[in-house]
Amino acid sequence: GQNIDQPTEMTATEGAIVQINCTYQTSGFNGLFWYQQHAGEAPTCLSYHVLDGLEEKGRFSSFLSRSKGYSYLLLKELQMKDSASYLCAVRDSNYQLIWGAGTKLIIKP
Amino acid sequence: ETGVTQTPRHLVMGMTNKKSLKCEQHLGHNAMYWYKQSAKKPLELMFVYNFKEQTENNSVPSRFSPECPNSSHLFLHLHTLQPEDSALYLCASSQASSGGVETQYFGPGTRLLVL
């Protein structure tokens, strides 16, 4: 079967750094997405990876290793508004999106 | 503003009611999706429409009936639902192409409670 694993919940302090990991086992690979979803709002795409490596967008960075079936989302200089759920999704060989259950990130002052 | 709107945002219905969820996308996309999001579970893809034609139906019970009159509008008709159908129903759209990025853009969802 196909599976995406990510922690259910993480807590971090305002101003700190947090890394959210995602491991996947899918039938083929055609890209990995990270989405952010604030409570009661639409998920919005943060990043898309098809090649290995690190991509940085401001305070957010994402990393992919296809050989290890592993990705992480790194959030720096955490702000209270970063409190949200972060969803990892992988597109398989049939271009179907396989979703993780999401990681709820709680930021404390 | 994501360009995908959903109405209503909240819905409470009894098991014998009939209601419809509406989704509209203003992004010029040609693919639309219905997802079910339950607490602490992965997003469940329910239906996919490409160019108004249904291309996916992931073993969804017949009490959920989708309708796509054009590439900008998508409906989910609900009847005789069960309490376990209570969830957040998300609509998404994308520009379908073979091998492309096809980022999906989501609406804010309809929070459904079945009593």
Dist CA B76 CA B67 (whole Å):
6
Dist CA B49 CA B92 (whole Å):
10
**B5-53 per-position pLDDT tens digit:** 999 999 999 988 899 999 999 999 999 999 999 988 999 999 999 887 7
Pair type for strands B18-25 and B4-7: antiparallel
**B62-115 per-position pLDDT tens digit:** 999 999 999 899 999 999 999 999 999 999 999 976 655 589 999 999 999 999
**B79 CA to chain A: closest CA distance, Å?**
24
A96 in B contact zone (CB under 8 Å): yes
- In this predicted structure, what is the pLDDT of residue B99? 58
**A5-57 per-position pLDDT tens digit:** 999 999 999 999 999 999 999 999 999 999 999 998 999 999 999 999 999 99
Dist CA B85 CA B83 (whole Å):
5
Nearest-by-CA chain A residue for B33: A97
B75 in A contact zone (CB under 8 Å): no
- In this predicted structure, what is the pLDDT of residue B58? 75
- In this predicted structure, what is the pLDDT of residue A45? 95
Nearest-by-CA chain A residue for B108: A42
- In this predicted structure, what is the pLDDT of residue B8? 97
Tokens of B68: 């796509």
Tell me the C-alpha to C-alpha distance, in Å, between residue A62 and each of A23, A48, B31, B52: 13, 9, 27, 34
Dist CA A89 CA B70 (whole Å):
28
Q: Decide if A101 and B105 are in contact by the 8 Å CB cutoff.
A: no
- In this predicted structure, what is the pLDDT of residue B98? 61
DSSP-assigned letter for residue B111:
E
Tokens of A42: 């639409």
In this complex, the residue of A8, A31, A42 whose CB is nearest that of residue B107 is A42
